[in-house]
Amino acid sequence: MPSQHRPDIKAWRQQSKDRNPYMWPSINLEDLVRSKNMLILLHARGRCQPHDFVHTDLEQASLGEMSGANSPAFLNGYTMLFHDRKNSGTYGELVSWDEDENAFEYMMNGVGMHPGRGLMALEIQQRIWSFLVTWSEVLLRDLSPLTEGEIVSNPGPPTNQETAFTSLEVISMEAPYRVPARLDLTRLEAITYAERNLKEDHLWALREDPSYFADTVQELAEHRQEMLLDTLGHEHPTLRENGRPLFWNRVSANAVVESYLGFATFDNIFKQVETLILVYAQRKDDIILERDLPADLMDAFQHLRFSLDAAKKGLIKVLKVGLFASPPGDNSVLVYHHSTRSPRRSRHNTVRHGKIML
C-alpha cells in the first residue's frame, strides 16, 4: 500500500507506467489513518452495493487513463451493465447491441459502460473489497468467519463528535470513502454553504482587519506576473515607477473585486442548491432511470451546473495567472522581452527550461 496521499500524482510526476498507483489512489496509509476515514470506508463498502461505487471508482482512477498508464481494453458491440445487479451472475453482465435495442443507449447515458472500462472497474473493486475483508479478518480474528452467520442491522455511519460544524476540508478528505452514487443534496448544500461562509469571512476580514488586508494584498502581489524578470533580466515597467502606484492599484483592485465576486458566486450557487432541493423533493417520485428527468428538475440541475462551470473557469484563470509567478518557481520562469520575442507571440508568454508555456 502506498504511504503517501495521492500516489497517482506522484507516479504521474515520475512518468511512471506502473498502473497500480493509478488504480486505487484513495487506498493509502496517509489518508486512511486520518480521522475516521477507514471506518467510513468500511461502513460504506460493507453496507452498500458495489454498483453504488462503480462510476466513482473509475473516476478516481482517471489520471492513469489520461496519462496512458491504464488503457481500457476494446470490445465493440457490447455494453457492460452494473446498475441494480446484486449477485455475481448478473453484476458486470455483457449485453449485445444486437440482442437489446437499448444496450447502446445505456452505454451512452451512463446506465451501463463500455466493456473495457467496465473490466477496469471490476478490477478496482475486487482489490478494494479484498483489502477490506483481509483487514476485517485481522481485526476480528477471534470471531467466526466474516462470510458466515447473520448480518447485524445497520448501525449507521460513524459520527463526527470532534467538531460542531462541517468544514470544506473535512468534506473533501472524506469524500473518496463515502457513498458517492446516491444523490445527497443535503451534503451538497453543506459544501456550498461552507465555501460561501469562507468567502464571506474573507470579505469581512478584509474590511475590518488592516493586517489581514495587507497580508492578502502582499500575497497577491507576489503571485502577479509583473514580478517575473524578462529574458534580459529587466523588471516589468510598472515596478520601475517610484512607489509603484500603478502596480499596487492593480493588486488592490484585484483583491477587492475577486473577493466580492467570489462571495457573490458561491452565494448564488448556494441559493441554486436550495432551489434544487425544493424541486427534487416535489419530483423525486417521478424519476425513472430509463427516462429523462422532469423538465423543472432538469432546469434546476442545468442552472446549477452552469453556475458551477462558470465558477470553475474563474478559479482556473486565477491559478493560471498565479502559478508561474509563484515564489517557489519564479527562478525558473522568464518573460520574453518585447525586442526578442516573435511578432506572433504574446508579450507575456513564459519560458520554463527552454520550453514555451502559454
| One domain for residues 14 and 134 | yes
| One domain for residues 279 and 246 | yes
Residue 28 has pLDDT above 50, yes or no: yes
Residue 243's domain comprises 185-357
349, 341 contact by CB (below 8 A): yes
What whole-number distance in Å separates Cα of residue 39 and Cα of residue 157?
A: 8
* Residue 174 located in a structural domain: no
25, 6 contact by CB (below 8 A): yes
* Residue 257 located in a structural domain: yes
Rounded mean pLDDT of 162-188? 73
DSSP 100: -
Instruction: Determine whether 170 is exposed, middle or buried from the number of CB atoms within 10 Å of its CB (0-12, 13-18, 19+).
Output: middle
Rounded mean pLDDT of 260-274? 94
Taking the whole predicted model, whether its pTM rises above 0.85 is answered as no
* Residue 180 located in a structural domain: no
| One domain for residues 245 and 338 | yes
| One domain for residues 126 and 215 | no
pLDDT band (50, 70, 90) for residue 167: low
Other CB atoms within 10 A of residue 229 CB: 16
Task: Single out the residue in 160, 194, 224 at which a domain terminates.
Answer: 160
129, 24 contact by CB (below 8 A): no
**Cell digits for 230?**
524578462
* Residue 38 located in a structural domain: yes
DSSP, residue by residue, 295-356:
HHHHHHHHHHHHHHHHHHHHHHHHHHHHHTT-GGGGGGEEEPPTTTS-TTS-TT-EEETTEE
Residue 350 has pLDDT above 60, yes or no: no
* Residue 179 located in a structural domain: no
Mean pLDDT estimate for the chain:
82
Q: What is the pLDDT of residues 288-304, one digit of tens each?
A: 776 778 899 999 999 99
Residue 236 has pLDDT above 90, yes or no: no
Dihedral, 344, 348, 352, 357 alpha carbons, nearest 10: -60
* Residue 81 located in a structural domain: no
Whole-number pLDDT of residue 172: 80
Q: What is the pLDDT of residues 92-105, one digit of tens each?
A: 999 999 998 888 98
| One domain for residues 248 and 141 | no
* Residue 170 located in a structural domain: no
Q: What share of the chain is helix, strand, coil (3-state, %, to 5)?
A: 55, 5, 35
54, 190 contact by CB (below 8 A): no
| One domain for residues 208 and 337 | yes
| One domain for residues 189 and 296 | yes
| One domain for residues 213 and 304 | yes
Whole-number pLDDT of residue 326: 74
Q: For the chain, what is the domain count?
A: 2
Rounded mean pLDDT of 202-214? 92
pLDDT band (50, 70, 90) for residue 157: low
Where is 113: in which H helix or E strand? strand 112-113
* Residue 97 located in a structural domain: no
